Amino acid sequence: MEKSLYHLRINPEFHNLIPPLTEEERKMLEDSIVRDGCDTPLIVWKGTIVDGHNRYEICHKHSIPFSIEERDFEDKDAAMLWMLERQLGRRNLNSFQRGELALRAKEHLAKAAKERMLAGVAPGPNLAQGSRVSEQLAKMAGVGRETMKKVEKIDSEADDVIKDQLRKGKISIHKAYTGIKAKEHEGEMRVCESCGKEKPFTEFEPPSNCSNYRPICKECEAKAKEEATRAADPSITGIDVKNGQVVHTLVGLPNNPDAFEQLVDMLQNTLDYYISSFQGLINQYQSRMMTDGNTHRLQSMISKTNKAITNLLNERIKEAL
């Protein structure tokens, strides 16, 4: 492509859409262009820069010619969505930075989806309708939907100090989110379903699904982990503890009558953990989710699981006979 010192238009919306480079990133880019020239063409739409604002400024600063590539976009929103997706695929960003950048596409996704819906056109791969906008944002950022919800809450409610720490990777998204939730419930109390004591909300851990606090306080959770550790008797083959939870290895038990009690202990620990995990999840099945169809679906899952376990036992008995 022909290189020249082109004079292009700068749209402030396009220019401010992408977070600025750090001082280190800017210096590395400038040193590279000054040393080797500008080999990557700037992307232009109707004479306006869509991608390459930093390169444009550096090239004009040092009078270094560059090439351009004209692109055709349906409208301004389509161009901005393309810019965001390109940046997410190019820059080395952590999960919060990716989520924060993807959030800038929310308004454009919702607007584009509404226009296409009114026109009777099905949403394309980069568009979404209604509640699907949040799913598309999570997909763009490369994070889970619940993580994206946390990022959105942090983006709207956290102060600049917290956001800066997140961008630098000094704190986690979950920690920042937990801090916001703690402030929301400051002074409030709730009852632990394990010990029955009324305690401040800060004594309960917010779950990953962003909706309800865990039903058991942190102290009781710690005690449960200690009990799990004690239950993992190292003299019993096949039992171990990882991250405070009882796990079972695939080491075989000796084929003798005395080993049966060890098998029972191992199986009981597995079932106890299954029931405990099930209780935590089923507590999150809330009123607005509850329909006859959803309840039937859960009951069917449980029934299939129980049937599968019974079948495994019966098949093993047949094999051994």
Domain spans, the chain: 1-72
Q: Can you give the pLDDT at residue 229?
A: 62
Q: Can you give the pLDDT at residue 127?
A: 43
| CB 316, CB 308: distance < 8 Å | no
Q: What residue ranges of the chain have pLDDT lower than 70?
A: 91, 112-113, 115-131, 207-212, 228-253, 272-273, 276, 280, 321
Residue 191: strand, helix, or coil: strand
Q: Can you give the pLDDT at residue 271?
A: 78
22 CB neighbour count, 10 Å cutoff: 10
299 CB neighbour count, 10 Å cutoff: 10
| CB 280, CB 215: distance < 8 Å | yes
Nearest to 224 by CA among 203, 243, 206, 237: 243
Full 3-state SS string of 89-142: HHCCCCHHHHHHHHHCCHHHHHHHHHHHHHCCCCCCCCCCCCCHHHHHHHHHHC
Q: Can you give the pLDDT at residue 121?
A: 55
pTM: 0.57
> How far apart are alpha carbons 179 and 51 in whole angstroms?
37
Q: Can you give the pLDDT at residue 231?
A: 59
Query: Packing angle between helix 95-103 and helix 173-184, nearest 10 degrees?
Result: 70
Q: Can you give the pLDDT at residue 7?
A: 95
Q: What is the dihedral of CA 245, 250, 256, 262, to 10 degrees?
A: 0
Q: Can you give the pLDDT at residue 130?
A: 43
Q: Can you give the pLDDT at residue 115?
A: 67
Dihedral sign, CA of 48, 2, 53, 104? positive
Q: Can you give the pLDDT at residue 236?
A: 46
> How far apart are alpha carbons 319 and 4 in whole angstroms?
79
